[in-house]
Amino acid sequence: MGSTRRQFFSKIGAGAATVALQPWMARYASGAQPQARNDVVRINYNENPYGPSERTLKAIRDTATSVTDRYFEDTYYDDLSNALAKHHGLKRDNIQVGAGSTEILKICDDVFLREKAKVVVAEPAYEAVLQYAANSRATAIKVPLTRDYRHDLVKMAEAVTADTGMVYICNPNNPTGTIVTKDEMQRFMARIPASVTVVVDEAYMHYVLDPQFESAVRYVQEGRNMIVARTFSKIHGLAGMRIGYAIAKADLIAKIKPHTVDYTITGMSAAAAMASVADSQNVQRVAKLNAAQRQLLFDEMKKANFQVTASHASFAMIDLKRPVAPIITEFEKRKVLVGREFPSMPNFMRVTIGTEDEMKKFLAAFRAILRA
């Protein structure tokens, strides 16, 4: 069975817990975070509130003492890469492991946006890609979302020109949680020149239960010019261990591999990832728990006459009908941490789907703030 984050830290030991806590104790966007953890509802970073599975925790414990004091063998990378390749029905040279999907996305920007090339992106989507593009002196062509807050793939395809180096699609999209359907993706890919690399970020794909959704891995299997980015930070509950990977045809993996950094993930992380990817029952369990609480949020917001994006992910955005920044602060005063402000959607608040107890506390704070 799964474990909460607090149980996770207690099980792997106080020393490891102190290290793992550091990212969460960093300064929050709207001010200093409350220092106590046990009475704070943290639904701001899209984390899995249930933590990793018992099977994954065992792999962490079993590996901890053997890989902490020496450089670990390359076989950890090879074993993980081979396990991921088998999981996706591909070969070892179709996989590149990195420190979270963020490393993969940065490398894609570094490789495909050289010489001031253009990147076509939805607005809003995961903003780190835009920062990496700016570092590469690339130009971001931002295509607004549709009226129902989804990628406008028709206009994104129209925005592709001879100097487009990359197209970035976040599916499900962060921050809206909306999806690109398999039919929409198929029509889009039919319009994209073979010379343009399409990067699809599937960080939240495991949460999608809609049959209209399809992983873009199928295009890799077809040999298309596509890179799919995946992470263990979300449904697998391993955000603090920083594990991600790219799925692509062999020549694309060979192109990005020289830009990776050796040993960016630890032997413990590799062992945890291998155990977690094999634990499909836990992935399904967490997806169902998330879906139940997500539907509860939809129902409660409908009763309160607030619009919510049609999210298929582990978060959703609520239209508060007013500037969101001061309301975020009000939630923080009540020890409920929600997502930051998104400039292109200033009236929307992103909320991560937490446990039943966390969502009850969020809804209580919501009623107190928005109905005051």
Cα–Cα dist 324/301, whole Å: 16
Distance CA 74, CA 90 (A): 20
Rounded to whole angstroms, the Cα distance separating 308 from 86 reads 38
* pLDDT score, position 18: 32
For residue 13, the model assigns a pLDDT of 38
**Segment 292-314, tens digit of pLDDT:** 999 999 999 999 999 999 999 99
Q: Name all domains of the chain by residue range, CATH numbers in brackets.
A: 5-52+280-370 (3.90.1150.10), 59-277 (3.40.640.10)
At 248 the pLDDT is 98
127-137 burial, b at 16+ Cβ within 10 Å, e below that, comes to eebbebbeebe
Kindly give the parts of the chain with pLDDT less than 70: 1-38, 67-74, 372
pLDDT in tens, 342-363: 999 999 999 999 999 999 999 9
CA distances for 14 relative to 8, 11, 101, 284, angstroms: 10, 8, 27, 30
- pLDDT at site 4: 45
pLDDT at 71: 62
Tell me the C-alpha distance between 129 and 145, whole Å. 17
For residue 259, give the DSSP letter.
Answer: G
